[in-house]
Amino acid sequence: MRRPTSRPSPTSASPETARRPSSPNRPHPNDRRRRLMTDVAVLGLGNMGAALARAFLAKGHATAVWNRTPAKAQALAELGARVSPDAASAIRVAPISLVCVERYDQVRALLEEADAAGALAGSAIVNVTWGSPEEARDMETWVADRGAQYLDSDIYDYPDAIGNDIPVVPYAGGRAVYDRFADLLSALGPAHYHGPDPAVPNILGSAVAAYHHVAAAAFFEAAAYADGYGVSPREFLEFNALVGQPLTERAVRRGVAEIEDGDFRAGQASLHAHYDAAIVNRDDRRRIGQPAPMLAAFCDLVEPLLANQGDLELAAIFQPLRAER
Ligand SMILES: NC(=O)c1ccc[n+]([C@@H]2O[C@H](COP(=O)([O-])OP(=O)(O)OC[C@H]3O[C@@H](n4cnc5c(N)ncnc54)[C@H](OP(=O)(O)O)[C@@H]3O)[C@@H](O)[C@H]2O)c1
């Protein structure tokens, strides 16, 4: 990958020197720039950032790396990464830079440094750091105001999935910059473009994380219940994979169609029916002295809706859960 020709670079030859014929003994100034160029830079080499850099290197991409604590770059240097002394240098030697630190305020601070050093304008920044929807929108505006292109991203898996079996990596922001770098970014995992609003990856990420936490907690609560009666967590796991997961998948797909249609009268199972089953379940756990906070939360959620919406399907809980904007 080559840096856009419009991008100013301290290593660029002046028009005068660019016209000077190169000699076999003296490297042409542009040769130096080519030697310095990498395909991609990764800034922030914690668990996730290091995994991103390893995935690029494994796919044969020349990769510049930078980390606040330089020692973390050593293992990547041994894999062939080019270690940059500061964030600005890393951004300068690559046409696209991925930033993966803990928070957006840290991203902003290191991009401010790069901007002060003249490295930001003309570059493309992909912010893989997790944050809020508002932070992503603010960051895009701030980066664009400094003449750089911006994509936001978020990763919904562990570092060992990067470049291996990660399902998808979402990107949102400028379509042109996504199209230009989509092949390179696919080194991390299948790349999906989610439109111009840079907030979308963080919104999807927060939604997936919340679903993951609650669903996993509900699984372990149910496994503890089964275990209390002598059915092992393993037996529950295998049975749930055959029965509970497909049941839930069908129910949420049907529920989303109901949300889209605005009609929750499908006649499959009413909120009353779900609530009655959940109460029996909850009370059985209380009788054997087992805490069941997930189930109790479900009962607390549904109970106030029974009076007016008790005959509707489960997806009718969606509307009262929405924040009014
Ligand atoms: N790990 C995961 O499973 C996972 C999964 C999905 C998403 N993510 C996201 O990926 C991002 C990074 O997570 P991680 O797991 O790689 O975290 P981590 O292992 O704790 O690494 C944090 C990184 O941020 C850098 N950093 C912290 N403060 C900084 C500052 N003020 N200036 C410059 N750099 C700073 C650290 O540099 P030093 O080495 O100098 O401390 C380090 O490179 C987070 O937004 C996280 O939510 C992580």
Q: Which amino acid, residue 190? A: P
Separation of 101 CA from ligand 1 center, angstroms? Answer: 4
Nearest CA to ligand 1 atom 22: 46
Instruction: Indicate if ligand 1 lies below 6 Å from the C-beta of 106.
Output: yes
Residue 147 contacts residue 6 (beta carbons within 8 Å): no
Cβ–ligand 1 contact at 98 (below 6 Å): no
Decide: 71 in ligand 1 pocket, CB within 6 A.
no
Cα–Cα distance measured from residue 184 to residue 2, given in angstroms and rounded to the nearest whole number: 12
pLDDT for 166 equals 80
Ligand 1 centre and the CA of 211: distance in Å?
23
Whether pLDDT at 28 is above 60: no
pLDDT computed for residue 169 by the predictor: 94
Answer yes or no: is pLDDT of 91 > 80.
yes
For a substitution probing ligand 1, which of 102, 155, 188 has the most ligand atoms within 8 Å of its CB? 102
**CA distances for 30 relative to 15, 19, 26, 36, 173, angstroms:** 11, 11, 11, 10, 32
Q: pLDDT at residue 32 above 60?
A: no
For 113, phi and psi rounded to 5 degrees? Answer: -60, -45
- How far does residue 46's CA lie from ligand 1's centre (Å)? 5
Spacing, Cα 296 to ligand 1 middle (Å): 36
Q: Which pLDDT band, with edges at 50, 70 and 90, does 325 fall under?
A: low
For residue 97, the cross-strand partners are: 41, 125
Instruction: Give the span between the Cα atoms of 290 and 284, in whole angstroms.
Output: 9
Query: Does the structure show a pLDDT above 80 at 246?
Result: yes
Show the tokens assigned to 67: 């980390």
For residue 86, how far is its CA from the centre of ligand 1 (angstroms)? Answer: 17
- Tell the residue nearest (CA) to atom 3 of ligand 1: 158
Question: Of 196 and 26, which is predicted with more confidence?
Answer: 196
More confident residue, 19 or 57: 57
Q: Among residues 259, 274, 262, which one has the least CA distance to residue 311?
A: 274
Provide CATH code, domain 38-197. Answer: 3.40.50.720
Residue 19 has pLDDT above 70, yes or no: no
Separation of 310 CA from ligand 1 center, angstroms? Answer: 46
Look at residue 324 in the predicted model and tell me its pLDDT. 75
Q: Which amino acid is at 300?
A: D
Whether 206 lines ligand 1, by a CB cut-off of 6 Å, is no
Residue ranges of the domains in the chain? Answer: 38-197, 203-321
Torsion angles phi and psi, residue 81, rounded to 5: -70, 150
Q: What is the pLDDT of residues 202-217, one digit of tens each?
A: 999 999 999 999 999 9
CA 62 – ligand 1 centroid, Å: 22
108 lines ligand 1 (CB under 6 A): no
Query: Lowest mean pLDDT: which of 16-20, 108-112, 282-286?
Result: 16-20
Q: Measured in angstroms, how far is the CA atom of residue 108 from the centroid of ligand 1?
A: 14
Q: Could you confirm whether domain 203-321 is CATH 2.40.30.10? A: no
Atom number of ligand 1 nearest to Cα 44: 43
